[in-house]
Structure 1
Amino acid sequence: MTAAPLNEGSRSPGHHIELVDDNPSPRHDGETSPGLRNSKGWDGKLRVPKSAVLTNPEALSDPEYSDDENILPGDELAADEGKFLSHILDGEPLDTDEIICTHSRIQSIAALRLERFQQVTRICLRQNSIQEIDGLSAVAATLTDLELYDNLISHVGHGLDDLVNLTSLDLGFNKIKHIKHVSHLKNLTELYFLANKIGKIDGLDGLDKLRSLELGSNRIRELQNLDTLKGLEELWVAKNKITELKGLGGLPKLRLLSIQSNRVRDLSPLREVPQLEELYISHNAVESLEGLEHNTKLKILEISNNKIVSLKGLGPLVELEEFWASYNLIADFAEVERELGDKKQLTTVYFEGNPLQLRAPALYRNKVRLALPQVQQIDATFVRTT
């Protein structure tokens, strides 16, 4: 077991502890799992490498896996190894402000005896075998950031009851079916439930300070019960079973919506969030961009892998900076110029995989440059400006 320092400047000054297993043994699925957390959340497509191996790979696919009899147990620790884990933090400075124990075969938080560390503000126990949230009340006065990502937690329970100072809570890649026992955490600004088994958005009333909510890769069919989150700025719900964009009208500060890999067809309900600045809606069933006319604040629009034929609807989006439209059915260069030519802030466009690129790939980029001379990047290629 070795202590690994954080990058310079990545945290506030002070001591911290980071423990990782030099030779991590395989988890209960026979594989090890890398960390995939992104500071902006996860969008279901762009940020998870295909080669990633996770403790709970079932959460990324969509089989009917949720019955309890299919849940695999955690590793069994030998008695001497359990004793070792109970002393894993012995000898570390008691004034540490950060404890990180990843992939350390931890089953019990209480066994770490965290009450010794009365100044700790961040605890990261990702990629372990924790099944229950407990043993944290003794550090409730100082703890603001808790990561239990990639464990075996199926119920939130009452282990968070005293942690009222939390500003960030990450419960991604677990086995949680219901959002419960978090609404009292009034200081939360970030909440992550990525890749669990949640079927309904609920239990979030009272989180007035929440700015970012991550619910990607669950089993959600409807955007609902969000109206009380008046401070919400980012909503990540990629890779669910959502068919409609209704239920966003009560979010006056929402500026980013990631709803990739769902079943959305109609964009018109987005008129309820005219302040939206970033929309990621690739891998859906969208056929028309009409309905976006009221979203004039959009700066980034990602609509790749849909069934879009026409760019009609983009005219009023005068602040557009990036337009990602790969693998659709767009064929008309004249329409590209007509709908996007006046967007002076537009720097990036993606049209690969559309008929206008496939018909004459050798001429494609030159035609885009002629239609959109202000653009600096076409697909993955930067355009040389004169």
Structure 2
Amino acid sequence: MPSEKEKTPPSHISINGDDAEGHDTPKSARSSSGWDGKLRVEKKLELANPEALSDPEHSDEENVLPGEIIDADEDLLDDYPFDSEEIDLVHARISSVPSLDLQRFTSVSRLCLRQNSITEIEGLSALAATLTELDLYDNLIAHIRGLEDLLNLTSLDFSFNKIKHIKKISHLVKLTDLYFVQNKITSIEGLEGLVKLRNLELAANRIREIQNLESLTGLEELWLGKNKITEIKGLDTLPNLKILSIQSNRIRSITGLDKLPQLEELYISHNALTTLSGLENCTSLRVLDISNNQITKLEGIGHLEEIEELWASYNGFADFGEVERELGGKGKLTTVYFEGCPLQLKAPALYRNKVRLALPQVVQIDASKYLFSSFRWTGVVVGLGEKANVVV
């Protein structure tokens, strides 16, 4: 039996003189015997990945510890028949895919898990035989993995996540549509073998160079807006490309389009262009968006006989004679935008009338649409829109 003295905790604690010196409060509390309840062991800390200190984009995906899996409070798929072909769970606060118990479903071809809190791609192998479309738009995914068995995928959407590197998808050779909009990608990579890909969206990332697209010979649409690209290049092996979107980058001249004879739509607004040279071989262009640049002359587009829409707002175009000379004979041209140009700013009251006189074939000027008869217009338009009254 312990004595009463042993049962009773000490009524006070003593402070070592070295600890108390120069301090208002003690650094550590000790009992009268000097024991402070902690084992004093010298520790030396070592970083497993010191490169992370110098590389802010470093991603050590091989050493990521698995997080805690919390079972769902309810069965979100309780109302879905087991033979459902589509499952849509948008904004359903899902954090764990395995908790959905997807192996119950035998015919799912499209799975949409948009706007959830998913961090890991897992629990999808049971759908491999039938799944063709996987939508993980707006989640918290940082690393691509868990797609090894999904060989029938034709559409994969990783937009609005936290992905830094394109990896582990080159085996998905049936992909036709691939989306990586608004991530943290710095390099176009990991796409080898995707010969059936038709649409690739990489807008709103941190890409500085167009590269590694050689194997995507079937690509028809490439979306690269809002990146940090300074030069158009690396497209020579894409003879089927029809749409190129490269707006909001750092491009100073139009280059690299010589071997794109099928190009129909070019979106290159919000850059630093000063001329329209470089479009000589783009004879199939139907839509050209050059808004918000520093271009002062329309020279360089007079040969575009297929042009239907020209978006040229907020540039330096000032000569109506040049507008008529370069665009007047374009019978398919129906839409022009010159808002914010000297053409419009110098005489806004006369601007639209002058454009109509120069381009009588046009039915839409900026945001306004007009109806015209087949004969040359000579009257005054009263009102706006498709139901405008023509007074002659």
How high is the TM-score relative to the length of structure 1?
0.78
1:131 to 79, 97, 119: 119
Maintained 8 Å contact 1:209/1:231 = yes
DSSP 3-state at the match of 2:87: strand
* Distance in 1 between residues matched to 2:255 and 2:105, nearest whole Å: 52
User: Higher relative contact order by CA 8 Å / sep ≥ 6: 1 or 2?
Assistant: 1
- After the TM superposition, which residues 5-84 of structure 1 pair with which residues of structure 2 at under 5 Å, given as runs? 82-84=71-73
* Distance in 2 between residues matched to 1:289 and 1:65, nearest whole Å: 38
* Distance in 2 between residues matched to 1:135 and 1:301, nearest whole Å: 44
Q: Which has the larger radius of gyration?
A: 2
Deviation at 1:275, TM superposition (A): 1.8
Q: Does 2:132 correspond to 1:144?
A: yes
* Distance in 2 between residues matched to 1:193 and 1:83, nearest whole Å: 28
- Kindly provide the amino acid, as one letter, of the partner of residue 189 in structure 1: T
Cα-to-partner distance string for 1:107-163 (whole Å, 9 max, x where unaligned): 111111101001010000010010010000001000000000000000002x11100
Deviation at 1:272, TM superposition (A): 2.5
Maintained 8 Å contact 1:293/1:315 = no
- Kindly provide the amino acid, as one letter, of the partner of residue 335 in structure 1: E
Deviation at 1:67, TM superposition (A): 7.4
Query: Which aligned runs of 4 or more in structure 1 are off by greater than 6 angstroms?
Result: 76-79
* Distance in 2 between residues matched to 1:91 and 1:229, nearest whole Å: 41
- Structure 2 residue aligned with 1:234: 221
Cα-to-partner distance string for 1:232-277 (whole Å, 9 max, x where unaligned): 0000010000010111111010000011100111113211213210
Q: Does 2:329 correspond to 1:305?
A: no
Maintained 8 Å contact 1:369/1:375 = yes
Q: Structure 2: where are the runs of 5+ without partners? A: 1-54, 60-66, 374-392
* Distance in 1 between residues matched to 2:104 and 2:57, nearest whole Å: 38
* Distance in 1 between residues matched to 2:345 and 2:207, nearest whole Å: 36
- Structure 2 residue aligned with 1:259: 246
2:281 to 273, 294, 314: 294
1:183 to 170, 192, 198: 170
- Percentage of identical aligned residues: 63
* Distance in 2 between residues matched to 1:65 and 1:224, nearest whole Å: 23
Q: CA RMSD in A?
A: 1.8
2:104 to 116, 123, 140: 116
Q: Does 2:360 correspond to 1:373?
A: yes
Maintained 8 Å contact 2:317/2:343 = yes
DSSP 3-state at the match of 1:241: coil
- Kindly provide the amino acid, as one letter, of the partner of residue 83 in structure 1: A
Q: Structure 1: where are the runs of 5+ without partners? A: 1-63, 69-75
- Kindly provide the amino acid, as one letter, of the partner of residue 110 in structure 2: R
- Kindly provide the amino acid, as one letter, of the partner of residue 155 in structure 1: H
Describe the shift of the 1:175–1:359 C-alpha distance in structure 2 as closer, same or farther (beyond 3 A): same
Q: Does 2:255 correspond to 1:268?
A: yes
Deviation at 1:384, TM superposition (A): 2.8
- Kindly provide the amino acid, as one letter, of the partner of residue 270 in structure 1: L
- Kindly provide the amino acid, as one letter, of the partner of residue 339 in structure 1: E
